[in-house]
Amino acid sequence: MFIGEEPIHINAEKGSIAPLVLMPGDPLRAKYIAENFLTDAKEVCNLRNMLGFTGTYKGVRVTVIGSGMGMPSMSIYSWELFHYFNVQKIIRIGTCGAVNPNVKVPELILANSAFSESNFAYTYNDYKEHITYPSIDLNKTISEKAEELNYKLHVGDITTMDVFGPYIDYDRVLNRIPKELNIIGEEMEAFALFHIAKSFNKEASCLLTVVDSKFSDVVLSGEMREKSLNDMITLGLESIIK
């Protein structure tokens, strides 16, 4: 295995990335968080336009950096953060589709497991199971903070897809998932994040905002989308610093 002394995809100086990280998929959302939620935020990386910023939230150093879309991209950035920058905790803050009628647009989901049909984990380190798990302690903190903030939070299983759900008949995929799982949302990154974190004995969780649902024709307005995403960002920040 080739592991160089320097990261290939994150061009940040050593020490410039905090041990606590929020990861939206979109690097421009990382920029938005830095500009609107962090104090004294500075850009610390920008290779391939995957922007990352470090600042403080309530006096605690936090980094926000994009992950890109899909498990391969998430695995690259989370691996480098854990390995080269000694990151201790990552909370993915992203968007998802609801696949349970009780979960509405634009409510929040906290994943207590991620199921995937992908061979990602088998390729990574011969892990043959199709389910990965977040940090129990970090999830507990997020749940407690959601209650403090009076945010409605659905806690349940999600599925991480290799394809963008709305572009396929994902009922076909959902029908293959073990029935004992309570799948409430589908997205594209969490399975890989949880597995990479476990391999480093680090903590990771996944918070999601529901932006579409197979049971609804609701389309978020710009104002609704910003409000719901801001709630998720606030919950992520409040949780990561605890």
Q: Cβ atoms within 10 A of the Cβ of 189, count?
A: 28
Listed residue (28, 57, 58, 60) closest to 43, CA to CA = 28
Measured CA to CA, the distance from residue 189 to residue 106 in angstroms comes to: 19
pLDDT of residue 2: 62
Q: Rounded distance, CA 192 to CA 72, Å?
A: 8
Domain assignment of residue 15, yes or no: no
Residue 79 covered by a domain: yes
CATH number, domain containing residue 64: 3.40.50.1580
Q: Mind telling me the catalytic residues?
A: 212
Residue 222 has what pLDDT?
64
SS3 state at 129: coil
**Is residue 88 over pLDDT 90?**
yes
Average pLDDT taken over every residue of the chain? 95
Torsion of CA 190, 194, 196, 197, to 10 degrees: 130
Q: For residue 10, tell me if it sits in a domain.
A: no
Counting Cβ atoms within 10 Å, is residue 40 exposed (0-12), middle (13-18) or buried (19+)? Answer: exposed
Host H or E run for residue 20: strand 20-23
Q: Which pairing describes strands 89-98 and 131-132: parallel, antiparallel, or unpaired?
A: unpaired
What beta strand segments (E) does 85-228 contain? Answer: 89-98, 108-115, 131-132, 153-160, 183-187, 203-213
Q: Which domain holds residue 60?
A: 20-240
In a domain, 37, yes or no: yes
Whole-number Å distance between alpha carbons of 165 and 173: 10
Amino acid identity at 30: A
- Identify the three-state secondary structure at position 172: helix
Determine contact, residues 97/208, Cβ cutoff 8 Å. no
In a domain, 14, yes or no: no
pLDDT in tens, 136-153: 999 999 999 999 999 999
pLDDT tens digits, 183-238: 999 999 999 999 999 999 999 999 999 999 989 988 766 677 667 799 999 999 99
Q: Other CB atoms closer than 10 Å to residue 212's CB: what's the count?
A: 19
Q: What is the pTM of this model?
A: 0.96
Residue 24 domain flag: yes
CB atoms within 10 A of CB 237: 23
Determine, yes or no, domain membership for 105.
yes
Give the model's pLDDT for residue 169: 86
Q: What is d(CA 112, CA 167) in angstroms, rounded to the nearest whole number?
A: 25
Provide the token pair at 118: 């992908």
Residue 44 has pLDDT above 60, yes or no: yes
Q: Cα-atom radius of gyration of the chain, to the nearest Å?
A: 17
In a domain, 134, yes or no: yes
214: β partners: none
- Report percent pLDDT > 70 for the chain: 96
d(CA 240, CA 226): 21
Structural domain total, the chain: 1
